[in-house]
């Protein structure tokens, strides 16, 4: 959130406390394992994880940032403003396969938008144990909704109502979840320097002993006084003995000032040559951190890790097997002290244990020399047992594991294995990119997916994708390169001596760990930076050359064997996606051209009627469809028609053209509306394209305002009255065209008042994902009332402006609109002598009167 100086610091502190409280509350109310809050980033279209409760931040790094347009539940909750509830892995895979591939564990989740003034500010998300069918009985969705609403109100208050200031662009705040029982495993650390009479303690020690940081003077006497008076002399004696090289043989049982039991363990500092410095820990008895000393006697290594990844207990066997002293392990992050137990694929195992109730088993190799004393590297069999508050890791030499549990992995070079694992962190799955690419249709969408998914996974900052056409390479997408740098390479031939060409012609990827290597291999080649590394990947699909991909990194880095293999495989996925996208683009261009040729270039006019039409293709799929509209001269009046052919693509556009021609021919003969629709229905059945169509046909007499309307399965028109009120017209209708050869289409007659606006539209303008179509029609009525103010009056808004505002509103209402066709007609004021006679019966309806 934006701010400055002292005020910004206070605001930031209030913000972090608010986020921590809300995520913890959500975790408790939902009975979840993990909770978090995503907020908008300053980068457009990007959400950033602001707080994470119940899971170590490094294990969730791949989901720290999400694009609002990606097919993820968090993105849908934010973009659509709806709750997204996924009770189990089956439902998650069905609705969000890419999300399920990234977290392939049996859990459920709920994602709730955080409302703001004009739109969501972010998303509150909770992961919980999976349930069979529905979570409605187990999950208090109303409470989660109130938590999200309260968060939105507090955020707006912190920002003084300025929604643009509510952003998050840093790393997430990681919060320890509330314990499942009053006594929770915790470890406080301290050190004592006898020469300076100084005790340094961490905040956890203050909490365990019931001290406030300001109350502790930092001396040995104050530390002894922090425990019960009966134990003070024992603590002082143990400190002096440890400084003299005689630490206690077991942790001391002491009590805090409030009487709660604690255990105190002491040992001399091995780095102190004088041998007088002392280190110590205080922890709660009866928890996994101590297990009443029972685990200390086990031959297996036992480590306990809390839900933030801190090691809170290690028995002597664990210290021996990991090659780390116990005092060095306690209170430290797992990935700092035991890096060979983290990174791919071990992060996956730890994620699974944190999210699921079942234990996980795997093998890991402690690298040779990765210990405090001499020794060789060794394979360990690791079992991770999940718990509400802790993970318990059991370590056993792989040679002691029963053969039935599986073979020991083949020994590899340990340094190479660990380096490769961390070079590829955060973990990136080719299957996740493959699933994301299945949603990409056009070449631009494929390029966008590569930028959003591939670059963050490998830490890249630059990307360029070139496609091959007529033996020349043309730039399809680029990001991160200096402006204009790639211009000289546009349209470069396959005979050029540049890495982007040679990787394609030879089919071999090229990796340069420094810009110096690149300059030495290609003297005279322009470089976009002095420092960094580059990867040039050939895009080849089924033996066909498609193009080349360039990845740029800001720092020098090596490319391990694993990384080179993964990047090469991903290049193949990208090539196949690009090949598919190019075929799609060709077909879409043909369909768009056909559609533009079939839609009317101009509408028939009449001096007493203003008409205007708009067509907006959908942003997903083929980008063209079967929607159409037309205005045709019919006798001494006008025929207005709008229709929608089922489906998208070339076939839908071709069918649309045939129907438009048929309706136009009937209209020119001034046939009644019911005969026009019946004749068109028979034509579509005879053509038998395997498609059906909806249609609304209106014959208007501009002189009298008489309108005769028939519709075939099409949404009824909307009317804006001269006084500004709007309503949905009650028009009788028949079934869609192309289904029943005996269908009948009744005609409704109306008088259209001067200055009234009649709106005909296709369902793409009013349908919304997960919403009732009646709600969409109601929203269109409201938009028509607002947009049509003053239309038709001298100096007022033109009908063209009304159409622009309505179609813009449709685009804003949903991120994935279908094809939209809109036709508006307004009857201009007529001389008094031309006003229609009143119809018999009760008083006239506003704006128009129904006859008969």
pLDDT at position 291? 42
d(CA 22, CA 285): 30
pLDDT at position 418? 35
Classify strands 187-193 and 278-283 as parallel, antiparallel or unpaired.
Answer: antiparallel
pLDDT at position 833? 47
Return the ∠ at Cα 788 (arms to 784 and 792), rounded to 5°. Answer: 145
Region of residue 524 (phi > 0: left; psi between -120 and 50: alpha; otherwise: beta): left
Residue 644 has pLDDT above 70, yes or no: yes
pLDDT at position 411? 37
DSSP for 602-642 reads S---BTTEEEEEEEE--SSTTS-EEEEEEEEEETTEEEEEE
Phi, psi dihedrals of residue 365, rounded to the nearest 5°: -110, 125
Beta strands in 103-161 (DSSP E): 107-114, 122-129
Cis geometry, peptide bond prior to residue 417 (ω within 30 degrees of 0): no
Question: Cα Rg for the chain, rounded, in angstroms?
Answer: 35
Confidence of residue 233 (pLDDT cuts 50, 70, 90): confident
Contact 694, 712 (CB under 8 A): yes
pLDDT in tens, 1-18: 544 556 666 677 788 888
pLDDT at position 276? 74
pLDDT in tens, 32-60: 888 999 999 988 888 999 999 888 888 88
Q: Nearest-CA neighbor of 276 among 248, 240, 247, 243?
A: 243
pLDDT in tens, 772-827: 778 888 888 888 887 766 555 544 457 787 887 777 766 555 444 455 667 777 76
- Eight-class DSSP state of 58: G
Confidence of residue 636 (pLDDT cuts 50, 70, 90): confident
pLDDT at position 130? 78
pLDDT in tens, 278-297: 888 776 654 544 443 556 76
Confidence of residue 697 (pLDDT cuts 50, 70, 90): very high
Return the ∠ at Cα 731 (arms to 842 and 836), rounded to 5°. Answer: 50
Interacting residues of 551 by C-beta distance below 8 A, sequence separation 6+? 454, 455, 458, 460, 462, 463, 534, 535, 537, 567
pLDDT at position 620? 47
pLDDT in tens, 79-98: 888 889 888 877 887 778 76
Tokens for 832?
């008094």
Mean pLDDT of all residues in 157-161: 85
Contact 416, 86 (CB under 8 A): no
pLDDT at position 523? 92
- pTM attached to this predicted model: 0.48
Helix axes 561-598 and 443-458, enclosed angle (nearest 10)? 160
Contact 106, 88 (CB under 8 A): yes
d(CA 324, CA 345): 22
If one compares 66 and 815, the residue with the highest pLDDT of the two is 66
pLDDT at position 443? 79
Beta strands in 241-359 (DSSP E): 252-255, 261-268, 278-283, 301-306, 311-314
- Can you list the pairs that 178-181 forms with residues at least 24 positions away whose Cβ atoms lie under 8 Å? 178/24, 178/27, 178/28, 179/388, 179/389, 180/388, 180/389, 181/388, 181/389
Contact 32, 128 (CB under 8 A): yes
Tokens for 850?
């129904």
Of 66-75, 294-303, 409-418, 544-553, which has the strongest mean pLDDT? 544-553
144-148, 184-188, 659-663: which range is least confident on average? 184-188
32-41, 118-127, 548-557, 809-818: which range is least confident on average? 809-818
Confidence of residue 625 (pLDDT cuts 50, 70, 90): low
């Amino acid at each position: 959130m934006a701010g400055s100086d002292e005020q910004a610091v206070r605001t930031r502190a209030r913000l972090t406390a608010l986020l921590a409280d809300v995520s913890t509350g959500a975790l408790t109310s939902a009975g979840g394992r993990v909770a978090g809050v995503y907020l908008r980033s300053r980068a457009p279209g990007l959400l950033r994880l602001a707080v994470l409760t119940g899971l170590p931040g490094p294990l969730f790094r791949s989901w720290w940032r999400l694009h609002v347009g990606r097919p993820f539940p968090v993105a849908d909750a934010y973009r659509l403003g709806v709750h997204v509830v996924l009770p189990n892995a089956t439902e998650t895979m069905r609705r969000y396969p890419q999300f399920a591939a990234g977290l392939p564990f049996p859990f459920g989740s709920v994602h709730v938008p955080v409302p703001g003034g004009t739109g969501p500010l972010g998303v509150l998300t909770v992961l919980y144990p999976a349930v069979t069918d529905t979570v409605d009985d187990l999950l208090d969705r109303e409470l989660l909704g109130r938590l999200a609403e309260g968060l939105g109100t507090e955020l707006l208050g912190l920002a003084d109502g300025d929604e643009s200031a509510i952003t998050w662009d840093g790393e997430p705040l990681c919060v320890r979840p509330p314990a499942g029982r009053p006594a929770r495993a915790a470890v406080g650390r301290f050190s004592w320097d006898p020469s300076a009479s100084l005790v340094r303690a961490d905040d956890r020690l203050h909490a365990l002993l019931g001290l406030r940081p300001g109350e502790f003077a930092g001396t040995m006497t104050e530390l002894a006084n922090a425990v019960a008076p009966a134990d003070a002399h024992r603590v002082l004696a143990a400190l002096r003995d440890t400084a003299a090289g005689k630490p206690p043989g077991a942790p001391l049982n002491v009590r805090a000032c409030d009487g709660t039991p604690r255990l105190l363990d002491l040992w001399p500092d091995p780095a102190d040559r004088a041998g007088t410095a002392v280190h110590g820990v205080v922890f709660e008895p009866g928890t996994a951190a101590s297990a009443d000393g029972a685990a200390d006697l086990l031959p297996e290594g036992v480590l306990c890790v809390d839900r933030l990844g801190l090691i809170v207990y290690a028995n002597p066997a664990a210290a021996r097997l990991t090659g780390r002293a116990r005092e060095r392990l306690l209170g430290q992050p797992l990935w700092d002290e035991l890096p060979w137990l983290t990174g791919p694929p071990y992060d996956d195992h730890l994620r699974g244990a944190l999210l699921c109730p079942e234990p996980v088993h795997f093998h890991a190799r402690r690298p040779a020399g990765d210990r405090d004393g001499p020794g060789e590297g060794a394979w360990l069999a690791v079992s991770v047992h999940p718990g509400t508050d802790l993970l318990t890791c059991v370590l056993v030499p792989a040679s002691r594991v029963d053969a039935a549990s599986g073979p020991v992995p083949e020994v590899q070079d340990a340094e190479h294995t660990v380096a490769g694992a961390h070079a590829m962190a955060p973990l990136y799955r080719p299957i996740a990119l493959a699933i994301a690419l299945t949603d990409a249709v056009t070449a631009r969408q494929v390029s966008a997916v590569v930028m959003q998914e591939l670059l963050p996974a490998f830490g890249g900052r630059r990307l360029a994708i070139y496609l091959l056409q007529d033996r020349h390479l043309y730039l399809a997408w680029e990001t991160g390169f200096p402006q204009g740098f790639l211009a000289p390479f546009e349209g470069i031939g396959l005979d050029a001596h540049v890495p982007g060409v040679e990787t394609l012609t030879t089919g071999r990827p090229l990796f340069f760990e420094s810009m110096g290597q690149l300059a030495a291999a290609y003297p005279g080649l322009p470089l976009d930076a002095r420092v960094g590394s580059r990867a040039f990947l050939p895009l080849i699909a089924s033996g066909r050359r498609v193009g080349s991909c360039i990845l740029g990194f800001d720092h020098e880095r090596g490319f391990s064997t694993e990384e080179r293999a993964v990047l090469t495989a991903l290049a193949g996925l990208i090539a196949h996606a690009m090949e598919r996208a190019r075929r799609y683009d060709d077909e879409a261009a043909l369909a768009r051209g056909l559609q533009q040729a079939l839609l009317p270039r101009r509408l028939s006019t009449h001096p007493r009627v203003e008409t205007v039409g708009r067509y907006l293709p959908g942003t997903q799929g083929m980008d063209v469809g079967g929607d159409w509209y037309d205005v045709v001269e019919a006798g001494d009046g006008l025929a207005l028609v709008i229709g929608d052919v089922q489906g998208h693509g070339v076939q839908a556009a071709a069918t649309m053209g045939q129907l438009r021609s048929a309706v136009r021919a009937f209209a020119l003969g001034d046939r009644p509306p019911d005969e026009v629709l019946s004749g068109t229905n028979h034509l579509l059945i005879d053509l038998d394209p395997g498609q059906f169509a909806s249609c609304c046909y209106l014959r208007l007499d501009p002189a009298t305002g008489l309108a005769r309307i028939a519709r075939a399965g099409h949404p009824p028109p909307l009317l804006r009255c001269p006084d500004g009120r709007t309503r949905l017209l009650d028009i009788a209708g028949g079934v869609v065209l192309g289904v029943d050869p005996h269908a009948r289409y009744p005609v409704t007659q109306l008088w259209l008042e001067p200055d009234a606006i009649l709106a005909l539209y296709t369902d793409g303008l009013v349908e919304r994902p997960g919403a009732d179509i009646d709600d969409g029609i109601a929203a269109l009525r409201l938009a028509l009332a607002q947009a049509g103010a003053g239309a038709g009056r001298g100096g007022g808004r033109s009908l063209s402006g009304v159409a622009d505002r309505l179609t813009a509103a449709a685009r804003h209402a949903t991120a994935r609109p279908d094809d939209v066709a809109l036709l508006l007609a307004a009857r201009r004021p007529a001389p008094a002598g031309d006003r229609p006679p009143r119809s018999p019966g009760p008083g006239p309806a506003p704006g128009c009167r129904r006859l008969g």
